[in-house]
Amino acid sequence: MIVNENIIIINCGSQFTQLIARRLREMKVHTLIMNWDASAEKVKSYSPKGIIISGGPDSVNDPGAITIDPKILELGCPVLGICYGMQLIAKILGGHVIEGDAREYGVTSIHKTGGNSLILGENIPSFLNVLMSHGDYVAELPKGFKATSMTDNKIISSFEDKERKFFGLQFHPEVINTEQGNYIMRGFVFNVCKCSGDWKLSDWVEDTVTAIRDAVGNSKVICGLSGGVDSSISAALVHRAIGEKLQCVFVNHGLMRLNEPEAVMKEYETIGLNVKYVDASERFLKELAGVTNPEEKRKIIGRLFIEVFEEEARKIEGAEWLLQGTIYPDVIESGTKKGSALIKSHHNVGGLPEKMNLKLLEPLRDLFKDEVRKLGKIIGMPDEIVNRQPFPGPGLAVRCLGEITKERLDTLRAADAIFRDELKKAGLYAGIWQAFCVLLPVKSVGVMGDSRTYSEAVVLRAIHSQDAMTAEWSRIDYDVVDRVSKRICNEVRGINRVVMDVTSKPPATIEWE
């Protein structure tokens, strides 16, 4: 086991907790995430170089609000509180936090004040645009603290106690919307905590392979392959650890893109994985018949996946584990981190039944998509798999809004294939994070060949992202969009209107359901 310097991140339920860890990993600093109820003794046992307290959805003044062990602030190492974390530090140490007359959400301008700061140093401009997301604010500083920046509304946006090395940021430096965010975090990690930056993703691979081998022992693992990046790289990583004790199952749930089941099976042959093909499409479509609620769709699909896996596992002597390609955005959006709010369930997180006959193995659970791709390259995965665009586990079920039928799925498949084909012809597909179509259960009047039509609409969705936590819609050339629209209307029966989604994340999510 490789021993690294540690920055402990205390998770108070923020949607950005793992993004903090990710930023530090980019700086080659090892991080450990602990829940808000971790004891000071447990935190101390990891000999942290520093501690970061995350944001969270609560108000520190709410009855039963999330809080931390106050003794954590007595460990003698630097502490940085972000948003809710800043307010917690203030409240615990005798400051005053109140509800603001106006909330601050989105990009806000701040200006430095109070002289030179240890983390808002000379290289940080005097005025910054930062991402705020709070209703409460620190109205009175604890003894020994001073404000180091303010908003235009005269609200304290950062503070510090240089002697005790306590720092607070009301804004989120970990998101790309905050100017100089990385430099501010580097100031804390390197200038204050004195980290050397000795962590590498390859070290993580070595530790994880060892941990998988030790956990699995002589038992076997069954893996549900979806054809996507996450499940494929998970399988390759576990195969490196336990070899032929991994039995993969590819389930065709009838919700994949055009000709995709055949294509992914050929790719798995080249990797050398032991894969069994199971056609369960009729079973999935039967259970989804008449279901329109997106959360219900996801949970049905998650349950059926597990049922199929368990049925196959019973045929494999010694199978005790179920491998899933869960990554961090799946976890945080499903609200399974302690204190985090539910956004939507993912089939491989919130869709799991309460009782399973298999233990879960999720080696990528704390990684982001781009880190998973880097991991794939480290372990020698083919580029066709590593660079594949993300595809949701529930497949087209969350892109076919309303009732799921084979006919509507075939309509969506045909339109989606045209969209991706035209992007590839234009040389745009490889540079887009995700491009797909969404079929709406909305009909409109059209005219085709002098005849009146009354057909459904399809949405073109294309986005750019780095880690799926935030995303910007792609500005595709109008001529390309025009060709896509004409081809879909001319070639796909059942569609007479094409529209484009120009919403970023937030406020929207990448998928529609």
Catalytic residue annotation: 83, 172, 174
d(Cα 395, Cα 373) in Å, to the nearest integer? 20
Could you tell me how far CA 366 lies from the centroid of its own chain?
9
Q: Are 149 and 157 in contact (CB under 8 A)?
A: yes
Tokens 């954590």 -> residue: 72
> What is the CA angle 282-385-245, rounded to 5?
75
Amino acid at 369: K
Across the beta sheet with 146-151, the strand order is 31-35, 7-11, 50-53, 79-82, 166-169, 156-161, 146-151, 96-112, 127-140
Beta bridge partners of 322: 222, 360
DSSP 7-50: EEEEESS-TTHHHHHHHHHHTT--EEEEETT--HHHHHTT--SE
Taking alpha carbons only, the member of 420, 397, 391, 407 closest to residue 456 is 407
Q: What is the CA radius of gyration of the chain?
A: 25
d(Cα 389, Cα 57) in Å, to the nearest integer? 31
Q: Are 56 and 37 in contact (CB under 8 A)?
A: no
CA dihedral 203, 208, 213, 216 (to 10 degrees): 170
State the burial class of residue 440 (Cβ atoms within 10 Å of its Cβ: 0-12, 13-18, 19+).
Answer: middle
Q: Are 482 and 406 in contact (CB under 8 A)?
A: no
Amino acid at 462: A
Runs of H (alpha helix) within 4-152? 17-26, 40-44, 84-92
Taking alpha carbons only, the member of 83, 35, 41, 76 closest to residue 58 is 83
Q: Are 180 and 119 in contact (CB under 8 A)?
A: no
